[in-house]
């Protein structure tokens, strides 16, 4: 597993730019409903390729692997339907 760390150093903090990426991901989620609240948890893994960039953080052609954990909670009180 690769992790992208992008600390905000004094050199990068005042920098500006734009970038575009193409992302591809697979996910594995589980939903659990309890007392009108739906909990969702799982993982998301994939890759990204930078297709254009005008700033110093990402470079055109750079490839990245990514992995993250997903958790959400939605209830009828939050505007969800609870289904």
Q: Is the pLDDT of residue 80 over 60?
A: no
d(CA 55, CA 75): 41
Residue ranges covered by each domain of the chain: 19-78
pLDDT tens digits, one per residue of 25-67 = 999 999 999 999 999 999 999 999 999 999 888 899 999 998 9
Burial of 44 (0-12, 13-18, 19+ CB in 10 A): middle
The token duo for 49 is 């390729």
Count CA atoms closer than 13 A to 67's CA, side-chain side: 3
Query: Does the reported pTM lie above 0.75?
Result: no
């Amino acid at each position: 597993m690769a992790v992208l760390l992008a600390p905000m150093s004094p050199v990068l903090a005042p920098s500006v730019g734009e970038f575009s990426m193409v992302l591809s991901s697979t996910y594995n989620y589980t939903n659990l409903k309890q007392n009108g609240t739906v909990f969702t948890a799982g993982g998301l893994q994939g890759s990204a390729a930078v297709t254009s960039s005008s700033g110093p953080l990402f470079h055109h052609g750079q490839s990245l692997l990514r992995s993250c954990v997903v958790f959400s909670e939605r209830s009828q009180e939050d505007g969800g339907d609870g289904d």
